[in-house]
Structure 1
Amino acid sequence: MKTTHQTNAPNRERCHVIVVEDDEGLLRTISEYLRKIGHEVRTATSAAAAWELLLQEPADVLITDLKLPDPKTDGLDLLRRARELYPGLIVLVMTGFASVRSAVDAMRCGASDYLPKPFAMSQLEIALNRALETRRLREENERLRSQLMERESFDKIIGKSRPMQRLFQLLEKVSQVDSTVLITGESGVGKELIVQALHYGHPLRRRHRLVAVHCGAIPENLIESELFGHARGSFTGADRDKPGRFELAQGGTLFLDEIGTMKPDLQVKLLRVLQSRQIHRVGGTRPIPVDVRVIAASNEDLKAKVDRGEFREDLYYRLNVIPLYVPPLRERRSDIPLLAAHFAAKYAHRNNLPKKEISQEAMRILMRHDWPGNVRELENAIEFATVMSGGRSTIEPGDLPFEIQRESSGFSLPLQVTEEGLDFKSVVSELERNLILQSLEIAGGNKARAAALLDLKRTTFVEKLKRIQRGQPTA
């Protein structure tokens, strides 16, 4: 048996391999060779022993002989059972009784390759590398497919309100061009989704990368290198050339988030890049052309910063070619039911819970809240409520985060009887609800202490609290 080490593309991936062969000499040759090229190897001389190894610890690769000395099973049976146990397992089959039928049977059962004996160790390595590369490509395709589905969901920005319809009309036009865009809006309104829509809606840019930089999250002494890259030897620890975010986004889109936090000296350099379409790496001497669409975003009023001398006016106008304003949630309350239903469905599915509806009372509370954290806060609240509702199909007021419940209870009760009368039970129920929630907050969630604050028995307090959580009247 030859053991020459000759491959076209040496494999660099370390794998956990199980080798099954009743010829102990061949078993030793294969296992020693695989260890030599960097793999971790366990061995077995029978299908039963190999099955025990698979049960003890998962493997990346199974290399098995088709003909094994087991009275009840052979290599083909082992292959079937192993692939049922680990569907992603790579299986290479060896046999000294090669035939078209046995090869077809093995491939149908999920074998990645088929090695007729005798074979050189280099042939085994090539077959293994080929199988690993196939798996890598399959996993990469699955990852990209998953990303594509996510991107498509990002493109479906939710909103039917008039402010959002105006924004959609702008997006449809702006996504087709290369002009620089400045997105403004409060934190949590979904500026990242707008960036996604602009990038993936572009007929050419979407084929390349969308690279994001949070300007306020990178230390001041590193951000220039992050944006423009650095040359080898430009500073201590720069032992190689490193491309910056502009180069990584070549042909695609560079998203500069929180641009208002950028320091004045870097603003000058960014302006120069936008004007020349060239960058210089830190410590580098030659200009590097860049073809990148720049989208910037800020939750601050950049014009006000310009007026205060905190942001360069020329850079502001260079960025603000096409301004896009994303309205806060309180300016588009009619979108709250759509968003809430979307998030409820999303988190019910993610947590294997029943489909959720939102009760009228719970929706009334959501509509009344001002949402200072905007869509992000609403999403968090609905995720919380979805989990709290558990196996129930309806989200009730008591499932919402406590601070939102508490805020909703702060309206004036119509305690003065008028000629039109009032709903006595509703007024009393709402008063009880407010008092119970307030006492629970003061008591830090301790039900016994909260009950004592209201001079109630703990059992009575708990029963009323349960009725609140189910959205039922307490009185």
Structure 2
Amino acid sequence: MPNSTKNLNHRVIVIDDDKEMRQSLIYLLSAAGWEVEALAETSMIENKVAAFLPDVILSDVRMPNSSGLDLLSEKSNVAQLPIVLISAHGDIPTAVQAMRDGAYSFLEKPFDPQRLLTVLRNAAEKNRLSKDAERLRKQLATLSGLDRVLLGKSEMLQSVRESVLDFSSADAAALILGETGTGKELVARALHNLSDRANGPFLAINCATIEAEGFEKRVFGEAGQSQGLFRQAEGGTLFLDEIGTCTLDVQAKLLRAIELREILPVGADKPITVNVRIVSASNEPLDQAINDGRFRSDLYFRLNNVVIDLPTLRSRKDDIPLLFEHFLQNYAELYETQIPEVTTEDMAILITHEWPGNVRELRNVAERLVLASRRGAGSVSEALRVQNDMGDVPETLREAVAAFERTLIAKAIRNHKGKMDAVAEALGIGRRTLNEKIVKLNLNKSDLLD
């Protein structure tokens, strides 16, 4: 999708009691590509600004019930906008006073149309740059939040952080790949929060939780009843989690919406243009799903303009001490208790664990340990044992089955010392099926036997 957010028309509110002048200004500005709202006086300006969100205000100075100069002294969001004043009674003292009071510019009637357009454009662009700079300051102030979301010193994590920062400025569709619990939605939110769409909505949907027959209404909306997620996310980001669970029929409808940048609500006669960045995620390699005939290759190539692969926790075990300490501090603050002591033996237990639930599972163990320590009991091994008994409960049946299969196969490979025929026999499946599952579940035999 092109970055249409950068090319949105500028918005202006025109205030002039002279109807003929007001209509003339509306025609001039509209012809130049501006979005225009007009008022005959300043009394309703607050409501109009709140609803229309203009980039600049163009106001006459002298009107029967108010003055454009009064706008400059407003202690509100109106005075925060650039205000361009025009007057048929202009004089040097008035102009000087207006500029001192904060007016962006002062023009005398009759004015040159091109000069007016230039002044307004410069004022609007300055206002948008000011907003962008403020948003950037907020981003920089919270940039450490990205470090907290993707906490770790491993090269893999550093690469992911760099990818998020690089790709956030792009408006192309992004695909996030990673096992359950690796933080796919957190990365999607980071891509949104660091993008030009940060002021727009971020909406997330887990595709696996929506029945195929209800998907169209939920995502595209229904004429005269509901907007649907695409329209609700207008100007922002729509995150499609577990995209691989969509049926082929749903995939075809998503492909059309992404390709044409328009949707057809259920029961509607005409399509509606949408301006949304699509970020999707999957906990399985979609190329395997394509080979199995479960996923459309044309949709895959529309979704993967940008690809971010999230590493598993077991592939970056050096990060476990840092992550665990971070989670302990957070939960100790949350539950208003002391941070539990973690011994060398405790840390060894954590590092040797396989972590099928990844960072989410590690966080759950940390929380369990903090809660136990409040009662003067608990240990890492006990917290981990409870975790294993309960499982890192996945959000969907597909995730639950994948997590169970991953744990079972990994255990069998270790028990049979990597002899795959014996592993297949113990599991009661064929060797080919075993190989396919190892690839699908992203298991590494050498890692399991280290």
Please give the range of the TM-score, normalised by the shorter of the 2 chains: 0.5 to 0.7
Letter in 2 for 1:304: Q
Q: 1:208 aligns with which of 200, 207, 218?
A: 200
Q: Is the 8 A contact 2:372 2:378 kept in 1?
A: no
Letter in 2 for 1:223: F
Task: Give 2:221's match in structure 1, choosing from 229, 237, 252.
Answer: 229
Partner of 2:155: 162
- The residue type paired with residue 164 of structure 1 is L
* 1:45-96 alpha-carbon deviations (Å, 9 max, x no partner): xxxxxxxxxxxxxxxxxxxxxxxxxxxxxxxxxxxxxxxxxxxxxxxxxxxx
Query: Per the alignment, do residues 150 and 376 of structure 1 end up closer, same or farther by CA in structure 2, a change over 3 Å counting?
Result: farther
For the pair shown, the structure with the greater C-alpha radius of gyration is 1
Q: From 180, 186, 190, give the equivalent of 2:183.
A: 190
Counterpart-to-counterpart distance in 2, 1:150 and 1:226: 33
What are the equivalent positions in structure 2 for 1:374-385 lying under 5 Å apart? 374-385=358-369
Where 1:207 maps in the other structure, the secondary structure is coil
Question: Could you tell me which residue of structure 2 aligns to residue 343 of structure 1?
Answer: 327
Does structure 2 conserve the Cα–Cα contact (< 8 Å) formed by 1:356 and 1:386?
A: yes
2:345 to 361, 365, 373: 361
Q: Specify whether residues 298 and 399 from structure 1 end up closer, same or farther in structure 2 by C-alpha distance, changes over 3 A only.
A: closer
- Matched residue of 1:164: which SS? helix
Structure 1 match to 2:304: 320
The residue matched to 1:163 in structure 2 has which SS?
helix
- Deviations 1:169-199 (CA, angstroms, capped at 9, x unpaired): 1111001110111111111111111111101
Q: What amino acid does structure 2 have at the position aligned with 1:188? A: G
Conserved? CA contact 1:279–1:287, under 8 Å = yes
Which of these residues, 267, 271, 293, is aligned with residue 309 of structure 1? 293
> TM-score, normalised on structure 1?
0.50
- What are the ranges of 5 or more consecutive residues in structure 2 without an aligned counterpart? 1-137, 390-409, 416-450
Q: Tell me, in whole angstroms, the C-alpha distance in 1 between the residues paired with 2:210 and 2:231.
A: 18
Which secondary structure does the structure 2 equivalent of 1:401 belong to?
Answer: helix
Alignment correspondent of 1:237: none
CA distance in 2, matches of 1:362, 1:385: 11
Amino acid across the alignment from 1:384: R
Preserved CA contact (<8 Å) 1:205 1:252: yes
**SS of structure 2 residue aligned to 1:296:** strand
TM-score, with length taken from structure 2 = 0.53
Identity of aligned residues (%): 40
CA distance in structure 1 between the aligned counterparts of 2:188 and 2:204, rounded to whole angstroms: 10
Instruction: Supply the AA of the counterpart residue of 1:194.
Output: V
Matched ranges for 1:139-150 at <5 A: none
Change (3 A) 1:231 1:403: closer
Instruction: Give secondary structure in 2 for the equivalent of 1:300.
Output: coil
Number of aligned residues: 254
Shift of the alpha carbon at 1:252? 0.4
Is 2:271 the counterpart of 1:271?
no
SS at match of 2:209: coil
Q: Deviations over 1:206-254 (max 9, x none)?
A: 101100111110122111111100113xxxxxxx3x1010000000000
| Residues 154 and 215 of structure 1: CA distance in aligned 2, closer, same or farther (over 3 Å) | farther
CA 1:364–1:329 in structure 2 vs 1: closer, same or farther (change >3 Å)?
A: same
CA drift of 1:156 comes to 3.9
1:386/1:399 contact within 8 Å kept: no
Give the drift of 1:203: 3.9
**Paired amino acid for 2:192:** H
Residue 231 of structure 1 aligns to a residue whose secondary structure is coil
Aligned amino acid, residue 222 of structure 2 = H
Change (3 A) 1:320 1:390: same
Distance 1:284 1:383, change over 3 A: same
1:375/1:396 CA distance change after superposition, 3 Å:
closer
Alignment check: 8 A CA contact 2:365 2:380 kept: no
Q: Is the 8 A contact 1:154 1:193 kept in 2?
A: no
Tell me the CA shift for residue 311 of structure 1: 0.7
**1:372 alignment partner, SS class:** coil
User: Aligned pair in 2 of structure 1 residues 297, 398: CA closer, same or farther (>3 Å)?
Assistant: closer
| Cα distance change of structure 1 residues 341 and 309 upon mapping to structure 2, 3 Å threshold | same
Which stretches in structure 1 are left out of the alignment for 5+ residues?
A: 1-144, 233-239, 413-475
Query: Would the aligned equivalents of 2:177 and 2:284 in 1 still touch at CA under 8 Å?
Result: yes
Structure 2 SS opposite 1:206: coil
Alignment of 1:251-262 (within 5 A): 251-262=235-246
Displacement after TM superposition at 1:388 (Å): 1.1
Q: Which runs of 4+ in 1 moved over 6 A?
A: 148-151
Equivalent residue number for residue 77 of structure 2? none
Instruction: Tell me how far apart the structure 1 counterparts of residues 215 and 387 of structure 2 sit (CA, whole Å).
Output: 38
Residue among 169, 172, 184 paired with 1:179? 172
Whether the 8 Å CA contact 2:178–2:282 is kept in 1: the answer is yes
Distance in 1, matches of 2:144 and 2:271, equals 34
Contact 2:206-2:241 at 8 Å conserved across structures:
yes
SS of the residue aligned with 1:330? helix
Question: How has the CA–CA distance of structure 1 residues 399 and 243 changed in structure 2, closer, same or farther, with 3 Å as cutoff?
Answer: closer
The letter for the 2-side match of 1:266 is: V
Secondary structure of 2:198's match? helix
